[in-house]
Amino acid sequence: MKKFLFADLDDTLFQSLEKCVDRDDLQTAAVLKDGVACSFSTAGQRALFDFMQDGMTVIPATARNLDAFRRVRLDFHSYAVINYGGVVLLPDGSADRDWLERMRPLMLAAQEGLAELAGLVDAYVAAAGQRGRARVIEDFSIPFYLVFKDADKIAERLEPIEREVVRPWLEARGHDYFIHRNGNNLAVLPNALNKSHAVAYVTERLRAEHGALLTFGMGDSRSDARFMAACDYAIVPRGSQLAGLALEPL
């Protein structure tokens, strides 16, 4: 029976230097556009990745867009889910056109709302004297989601933005969007955009190709929970947002 692991990347298989508690034997896992290292893997994370690749096929399920995904220094050889599930990449690295055309009208319908919210967030941040800018992430000429990060990497500053700007806007819009917040990352996504939808699509393709499967899901945050729950087994990093919500309280 073929085995597949759908794996989140950031804060699961690697993380920024600031989040590396143990900085011995770090290796570069992803770089910025200028080639400067921005994410690092620990010896334990590399051992886990090697262990997983030895017995199964690892399929990324990430919020990264195509450019950011290509700057990850890990080897993948099958499908990939990027842009929070907005894009599925085929094993040859090209976009799955059927999935892309399925997502395009759904995302274009949400574009006006995301642009409106970006303006509201930017106005609030400027009035508060903070640094940072809300960005609507686009890929393949499709707008997918809004993200804001505090330029000084002070995650606590996101709370009033979420409370005073984003949540009132969501309530006024009838909850057509949802919030993902983890560390210094505040994202707003259309309801139609979810890793779980793309993972389900890829899983069905894999079943058509290979028959019966055994699937694993691995991720660190609340936004990963739905696609992980659809897999046969789930793997959660210690100390992660998802571990704090689902395991540590027990």
Strands 27-31 and 80-82: unpaired
- Please report the domains of the chain, with CATH numbers, ordered by start residue: 2-86+194-246 (3.40.50.1000), 105-190 (3.30.70)
Residue 90, pLDDT score: 98
Q: What average pLDDT does the structure give for the chain?
A: 93
The two tokens of residue 143 are 């707008």
DSSP state of 156: G
CA distance 241 to 247: 10
Tell me what percent of the residues of the chain surpass a pLDDT of 90.
80
Residue 76, pLDDT score: 96
Residue 91, pLDDT score: 97
Position 155 confidence tier, pLDDT thresholds 50, 70, 90: confident
CA 47 to chain CA centroid, nearest Å: 22
Is 143 within 8 Å of 135 (Cβ atoms)? no
Position 214 confidence tier, pLDDT thresholds 50, 70, 90: very high
Q: What is the pLDDT of residues 19-35, one digit of tens each?
A: 888 888 999 999 999 99
Position 248 confidence tier, pLDDT thresholds 50, 70, 90: low
Q: What is the pLDDT of residues 72-115, one digit of tens each?
A: 999 999 999 999 999 999 999 999 999 999 999 999 999 999 99
Residue 249, pLDDT score: 63
> Count of H helices and E strands in the chain?
8, 12
The closest alpha carbon to 130, from 106, 105, 151, belongs to: 151
Cβ atoms within 10 Å of 47's Cβ, excluding its own: 11
Residue 26, pLDDT score: 96
For residue 250, pLDDT beyond 60: no
Tell me what percent of the residues of the chain surpass a pLDDT of 70.
98
Position 8 confidence tier, pLDDT thresholds 50, 70, 90: very high
